[in-house]
C-alpha cells in the first residue's frame, strides 16, 4: 500500500482563512458559501445556493459542531472548481452552532470536495482532527482566532493518507 501526504496548506488558500461576521449556524454557512462564490470556487448564485443547502442538509443529520468550540461542516459537490477546498472561519464572539456540548463555536473548518474525489474527503476530516489534537486547538482556542496563527498551523500540517 502506498501512502501519500495530505498537506492542508494545499487546500487552504490565503483568502480561505477569514473572520466570520455572522453569529448563527445558518448565517455562517451562507457567509461561507457566499465567500466561495466571491473567490470563484463556486461559479454563480445557483451553485452557492446549492452548496449552502447541501451543508444545511448535512447539519440536519446531526450538528457538525463538535466539542470545545469547533465545527467541521462538509459536503461533496461537483460545483466547486478545485477537487477540494477548505475554508477556516473564526469568530471571537462565538457562534450558536448547536454543538454537541451546547457551547458556542469559535472555529469553523468547512470542507468541500468533488463527488468523484474518492476518500480525500475523509482524509481531510481526519487531517483536521489530527491538527486540532496536535495543536491543542480545543483547549487553547483563543490563541488561534486570527489568520496568522491559523496559517502557521495549516502550513506545518502534513498527514499520511
pTM of the model: 0.93
Residue range of the domain that includes 145: 5-160
- Say what the pLDDT of residue 123 is: 87
Q: What does the alpha-carbon distance between residue 109 and residue 43 come to, in Å, rounded to a whole number?
A: 21
Q: What is the pLDDT of residues 10-37, one digit of tens each?
A: 999 999 999 999 999 999 999 999 999 9
- 75 has which bridge partners? 112
Q: What does the alpha-carbon distance between residue 79 and residue 114 come to, in Å, rounded to a whole number?
A: 7
For residue 69, the domain's CATH number is 3.40.930.10
Q: What is the pLDDT of residues 93-151, one digit of tens each?
A: 999 999 999 999 999 999 999 998 778 888 898 889 888 888 888 888 999 999 999 99
Q: Which cell is 150 given?
A: 491559523
- Say what the pLDDT of residue 160 is: 55
Number of domains in the chain: 1
Amino acid at each position: 500500500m502506498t501512502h501519500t501526504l495530505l498537506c492542508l496548506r494545499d487546500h487552504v488558500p490565503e483568502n480561505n482563512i477569514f473572520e466570520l461576521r455572522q453569529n448563527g449556524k445558518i448565517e455562517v454557512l451562507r457567509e461561507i458559501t457566499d465567500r466561495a462564490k466571491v473567490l470563484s470556487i463556486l461559479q454563480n448564485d445557483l451553485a452557492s445556493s446549492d452548496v449552502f443547502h447541501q451543508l444545511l442538509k448535512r447539519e440536519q443529520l446531526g450538528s457538525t459542531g463538535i466539542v470545545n468550540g469547533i465545527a467541521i461542516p462538509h459536503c461533496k459537490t461537483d460545483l466547486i472548481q478545485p477537487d477540494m477546498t477548505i475554508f477556516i472561519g473564526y469568530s471571537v464572539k462565538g457562534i450558536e452552532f448547536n454543538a454537541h456540548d451546547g457551547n458556542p463555536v469559535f472555529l469553523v473548518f468547512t470542507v468541500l470536495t468533488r463527488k468523484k474525489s474518492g476518500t480525500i474527503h475523509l482524509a481531510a476530516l481526519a487531517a483536521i482532527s489530527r491538527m486540532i489534537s496536535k495543536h491543542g486547538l480545543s483547549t487553547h482556542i483563543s490563541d488561534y482566532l486570527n489568520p496568522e496563527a491559523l496559517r502557521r498551523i495549516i502550513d506545518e500540517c502534513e498527514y499520511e493518507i
